[in-house]
Structure 1
Amino acid sequence: MDVIELSWWQLAMAATLVLALAGCVYWARLGVGNSLLIAAARTALQLTLVGFVLEALFAVGKPLWVALMGLGMLLLAGREVMARQNYRLRGAWGFAIGTVSMFVSAFSVTVLMLIVVIGPTPWYSPQYAIPLLGMLLGNTMTGIALALDRLTEGVRRERQLVEGRLMLGQTWREACGELRRDAMRSGLMPIINAMAAAGIVSLPGMMTGQILSGTAPALAVKYQILIMFTIAAGTGFGTFLAVSVASRRLFDSNERLRLDRLKSA
């Protein structure tokens, strides 16, 4: 089946729906009209630029350029994790925890899937590596950001409870154990909901894109199952690591709660 080409004027017609929504937002005085329009403009600009970059990258196919592209995606995702928290750790910790957690989880799972499961030749083929890493980073980023935000908000809100438990002789892990578990649950909830609803409530994005491009539905389903499982693994491991390191950073060597290590966004 041939793929139907889309022209820029057809995309502009779709953009009128966003403009109409922005008008409704302004009329309802929701206060997010500018954010909506800016986000729509960024979507169009960023995806257009990425399209040109990927075309050049696919043509070259060198591992160095694939690695540089992945590193750039990782650093931008780390910045987004930090920016989405109302309270974040001071200094380099605020950026490093999310970035390193995504590197350990998303990159490891991506390499594992490329080498062991999918097996393209070469294994770093940008046609497979970049889209897979992008989907993993995007979802892992959301999970880690939600988890860290829930953790810092919870520790600030339950400060007296945590300090009271410390005074009773509990370790820092015991004092904030429920807060840590709640943060991890928050990070995992989006992917759990997505897997539970996949195929019943919604058709996931990758599967929809493959079907629209002419891929057989059965093959698209297999790829989507693979992606969902890898996203769940990457998000879960990244969330566990980020919450563990961040919660330890909130206590000093004497196991005293150190909220002064947080700063408001």
Structure 2
Amino acid sequence: MNSPPRILDLADLAWAFGLIAIAIGLLQWQRVGLAGQMALAAARSLLQLLVMGFGLQVIWQLDRPWVTVVGICAIASLTTIAATNRIGDRMKNLLPIVGGAIFTGLIIAVGYTILVVIKPTSWDRPQYLLAVTGVCLGYLLNNAAIAGERLIGEIDRHQAAIETHLSLGATPAQAIASYRQVAIKSALLPTIDTLMVAGLVTIPGFLAGGILADIQPVNAAGYQIAILFAVMASNTIAVILVTAGIANRCFNRAAQFRSFDEN
């Protein structure tokens, strides 16, 4: 029987910083100018992951459905704020649109994965909800931000063309459709590419973590498949809703185009 994975302590993590020291030294040697940023990023990641680890440990040990749900809502809310900030301030009050899109995609994809695919003995087991939700949110942060930022940029560059389409009798949805499609593709293509190479040239993170946790590789691969498909579904739903919400904000009730100054 395989022995359980060894628990890493702070001394082990301190030794892990030797790798960062090597990377920083190489950057200094090449005079790239990123050494300070890498050191700051490493320190932040250490602090943030330790805080998250202790927080998830509390949720895990309490093992109460309401605690798990509150924890997930808190993480999803922070994800929403971060994604909204990355989109920028050219269009104001995007938080409800981004938040609604992220929570909708998350609830549908995670709910389906837990209840239909994984089917644990109890749906509210924190290890399942936290694992699937956490991976999905990592992708949702980037993809929702990319979709919103790209669509606003496309609209900003093609205002004249949109107004021309409207003057020729096009509906708001028709006038903006091609720009929404560009934004959706831009957001989802990186995730599709990740799906394409998973298990071919890379070992996905959840699969690698499962192997480290002494889960049978085939079983870990099954969970990785379920999670990747949940990621794809949640991101598709969220990206479509984000772009639809932004597109809707660009027109008034009379189907007239509104500039970003009016939003």
TM-score, structure 2 length as denominator? 0.91
1:87–1:153: 8 Å Cα contact kept in structure 2?
no
User: How far apart in 2 are the matches of 1:55 and 1:119?
Assistant: 23
Number of residue pairs the alignment of both structures matches: 261
Q: State the shift of 1:49 in Å.
A: 1.2
Unaligned runs of 5+ in 2: none
Aligned partner of residue 122 in structure 1, secondary structure? coil
1:58–1:126: 8 Å Cα contact kept in structure 2?
yes
1:252–1:258: 8 Å Cα contact kept in structure 2?
yes
Q: Which amino acid aligns with 2:132?
A: L
Comparing 195-204 with 6-15, greater Cα deviation is found at 6-15
User: Residue 39 of structure 1 aligns with which residue?
Assistant: 41
Unaligned runs of 5+ in 1: none
User: How far apart in 2 are the matches of 1:30 and 1:149?
Assistant: 28
User: How far apart in 1 are the matches of 2:184 and 2:62?
Assistant: 40
User: How far apart in 2 are the matches of 1:24 and 1:257?
Assistant: 52
User: Residue 256 of structure 1 aligns with which residue?
Assistant: 256
Q: State the shift of 1:198 in Å.
A: 0.5
1:135–1:231: 8 Å Cα contact kept in structure 2?
yes
Q: Structure 1 residue 83 and structure 2 residue 92: aligned?
A: no
2:117–2:226: 8 Å Cα contact kept in structure 1?
no
User: Residue 166 of structure 2 aligns with which residue?
Assistant: 166
User: How far apart in 1 are the matches of 2:231 and 2:64?
Assistant: 26
Q: State the shift of 1:29 in Å.
A: 6.2
User: Residue 138 of structure 1 aligns with which residue?
Assistant: 138
How has the CA–CA distance of structure 1 residues 163 and 67 changed in structure 2, closer, same or farther, with 3 Å as cutoff?
same
Aligned partner of residue 176 in structure 1, secondary structure? helix
2:90–2:260: 8 Å Cα contact kept in structure 1?
no
1:85–1:149: 8 Å Cα contact kept in structure 2?
yes
TM-score, structure 1 length as denominator? 0.90
Q: Which amino acid aligns with 2:177?
A: G
1:165–1:175: 8 Å Cα contact kept in structure 2?
yes
User: How far apart in 2 are the matches of 1:150 and 1:208?
Assistant: 33
User: Residue 193 of structure 1 aligns with which residue?
Assistant: 193
Comparing 3-12 with 148-157, greater Cα deviation is found at 3-12
Q: Provide, for residues 167-190 of structure 1, a one-character-per-residue CA deviation record: whole Å limited to 9, x for no partner.
A: 222221111111000011112112
Q: State the shift of 1:241 in Å.
A: 1.0
Q: Which amino acid aligns with 2:44?
A: R
User: How far apart in 1 are the matches of 2:17 and 2:250?
Assistant: 45
Q: State the shift of 1:144 in Å.
A: 1.1
1:87–1:152: 8 Å Cα contact kept in structure 2?
no
User: Residue 204 of structure 1 aligns with which residue?
Assistant: 204
User: Residue 69 of structure 1 aligns with which residue?
Assistant: 71
Tell me how large the CA RMSD over aligned residues is: 2.1
